[in-house]
Amino acid sequence: MQVTVRGLASGRLTFVAYEKEDLQKDLLHFLLEKGITIASSCDGEGVCKKCGIQNGWLTCQVTLGEFLERQPDSVIDVSYL
């Protein structure tokens, strides 16, 4: 199973594998663990709003599982990547 990180600035696609146990992790920390650079200055407190992706979602406020339910194509759009 995998998600795709689409960098809107570069046009680059990065494919990131996940396991069932990753579904409960917040998307911010899941992506950081996988080496994807997601901006954050509040470490997931929901304050800085720098970790945003498409549809106004904050990666620190949604689990990977919730994201996949809302975004069936599994593509994460990051504007500054």
Q: Which residues bind ligand FES (CB under 6 A)?
A: 28, 40, 42, 44-51, 58, 60
| CB nearer ligand FES, residue 1 or residue 47 | 47
CB of 28 to ligand FES, least distance (A): 6
In angstroms, the CA 69 to CA 19 distance is: 16
| CB nearer ligand FES, residue 12 or residue 49 | 49
Asked if residue 57 lies in contact with residue 38, where contact means CB atoms within 8 angstroms, the answer is: no
In angstroms, the CA 34 to CA 38 distance is: 11
- Please give the sequence-ordered ranges of beta strands (E in DSSP) within 18-65, or none if there are none: none
Backbone angles phi, psi at 33, to 5 degrees: -60, -30
| CB nearer ligand FES, residue 6 or residue 50 | 50
